[in-house]
Amino acid sequence: MNILYLCHRFPFPPKRGGKIRPFNMIRHLSARGHQVTVCSLVRSPEEAEEGRGIAPYCSGFEMAHVKEWVQVARMTVRLPLPTPSSMGYFYSPALAEHVRSLLNSRRWDLIFVHCSSVAQYVEHVKNTPKILDFGDMDSQKWLEYANYKPFPLSLGYRLEGAKMLAAEKRLARRFDLCTATTRAEWETLDGYATGVDTDWFPNGVDADFFCPAGESYDANTISFIGRMDYYPNQECMARFCEQTWPLLKRARPDMNLLIVGADPSPAMRKLGELPGVTVTGSVPDVRPFIRKSALMVAPLNIARGTQNKILEAMAMGVPVVTSTIAAGGVDAESETHFLVADTPPAYAQAIMRIIDSPAERNRLAMAGRQRMLSHHAWPRSMERMDGIIDRGIKNFSVNSGRVT
């Protein structure tokens, strides 16, 4: 098949959540013999240069170069309009022209879109099967942000969430099938009752790359991994360091916390002034930091979809202590494969339970790794996606009157 694939972030190299899922889809579809043309945005010359590495995994790609200040301006002018600001942030006249040219120049067997913010480029197309992979339901993320932001920012996030919710429902009706990343996200999508077929397929983890190394760990070290310019990561670590970290330091004064992730804000860097806390900033490879840790914490209070950091740690045989809401994006069971907590005392208790018992750490390490191999392997997820694509194409045929 000739497949036109659109996504909101250029999917190479697959170093962050918004790139990992689309890259694995593209790689899988190309490996199956499909001709995949990728269209997306790049925001710097460096990202464009790195992005060209996708060439072996697709039949062609189009990049639209955008400037951050221009995209912020496009987002801002939509504040008083019914159109979500998110749509402005991911809109580019150059990308729109690339897509128009591709649509007019050849016949496409499928249009596949990852992320609702770029569905705007092809929502009008009617003569080609279309699948929209929402991934996460962004409207729910903005509405959740409103609960953590001070007024009047909270009002802005609530408004954006409401506008995004309306847009998600409208866009869903213009595609032949819509998907999400987790069962919980799918239940939200299906609850929109748009009349459009829906499904979900999980994120996977590269269990060969994220694997145990057989090296010893430091029983006094725990870690958090994630981009530190991302608000949910900032919020959870600020709260963790304020409320849970003092409990852990009292229980074990020699304990260390590694906060590993690119672009930490000044407030996040300031956390490094706390006793035992290190904020690394960007690192070339997160794996040594995770493997060195007795466990990884993911105490997220705002979490939609799958937290890849959890999958990666479990795949490396490093136990995870996470929140209930973040655990909902992982196909695993609390107590069996990881530990779940939601209050500072509960986090401290779960963390000390692992640190104080090498046997418990080993049990969770082995069980977590096996669960990733059995339930979050990319080949299994991509098999599920193949079936979804077949359904989407059949839906188009039925809806266009080709099949009765």
pLDDT digits (tens, 9 = 90+) for 287-310: 999 999 999 999 999 887 778 899
CA–CA gap between residue 249 and residue 348 (Å, rounded): 10
Q: State the sign of the Cα–Cα–Cα–Cα dihedral 174, 175, 177, 181.
A: negative
Given a contact cutoff of 8 angstroms between Cβ atoms, the answer to whether 177 and 131 are in contact is yes
**DSSP letter, residue 230:** S
What integer pLDDT is reported at residue 214 of this predicted model? Answer: 82
What integer pLDDT is reported at residue 401 of this predicted model? Answer: 65
Question: 253: cis peptide before it, omega within 30°?
Answer: no
Q: What are residue 260's phi and psi, to 5 degrees? A: -115, 120
Q: What angle do CA 167, 172, 173 make, to 5 degrees?
A: 105
Q: Which two tokens stand for residue 328?
A: 């909902």
Q: Which two tokens stand for residue 47?
A: 């990202």
The one-letter amino acid at 175: F
- Mean pLDDT of all residues in 236-258: 97
Structural domains present in the chain: 2-202+378-399 (3.40.50.2000), 218-375 (3.40.50.2000)
Over 70: is that where the pLDDT of 404 sits?
no
- What are the beta bridge partners of residue 133? 114, 179
Strand order in the sheet with 177-180: 60-65, 35-42, 2-7, 110-114, 130-135, 177-180, 198-200
Q: Write the DSSP assignment of 48-83 as a string of letters.
A: HHHHGGGGGGSSEEEEEE--HHHHHHHHHHTTTSSS
**What is the SS3 assignment for 157-195?**
HHHHHHHHHHHHHHHHCCCCEEEECCHHHHHHHHCCCCC
Residue 303 three-state SS: coil
- What are the beta bridge partners of residue 36? 3
CA–CA gap between residue 123 and residue 195 (Å, rounded): 17
> Where residue 155 falls among pLDDT bands split at 50, 70, 90?
very high
What integer pLDDT is reported at residue 164 of this predicted model? Answer: 96
Contacts of residue 316, defined as CB under 8 A and 6 or more positions apart, other chains included, come to 210, 211, 212, 213, 287, 290, 291, 369
pLDDT digits (tens, 9 = 90+) for 192-240: 999 999 999 999 999 999 999 888 999 999 999 999 999 999 999 999 9
